[in-house]
Amino acid sequence: MRLGIPLCVQCGTTSNPCRCKVVGPTLGFLAFAAAALVEWPVGAFVYCFRHVKGRRIMAHPAAVVYPRVNRCIPI
């Protein structure tokens, strides 16, 4: 079994002359995965008592972490 580093490519962007991003989406995915490892179990526990708050916690990696990291790196 061969495991590699996940490589995400985003084409059609206007943030650089190549119109293609590799580093930003890949680091965004890794940051998303790290945040999700912590926030999804916490959000699931909170969801048992406060549904809206639990959903907001579980959505945080996809709604905030990934887009911020992806936008910070134009390559």
pLDDT, tens only, 14-51: 777 778 888 888 888 899 999 999 999 999 999 999 99
The reported pTM is 0.80
Picking from 4-13, 27-36, 62-71, which range would have the lowest pLDDT averaged per residue?
A: 4-13
- 16 Cβ neighbours under 8 A, 6+ residues apart: 74, 75
**Four-residue CA torsion sign, 66, 69, 74, 75:** negative
Cα distances (Å, whole numbers) of residue 66 to 5, 10, 35, 60? 17, 13, 9, 9
| Model pLDDT, residue 74 | 78
Nearest-5° angle of CA 15, CA 8, CA 29?
A: 95
Place of tokens 């490519």: 9
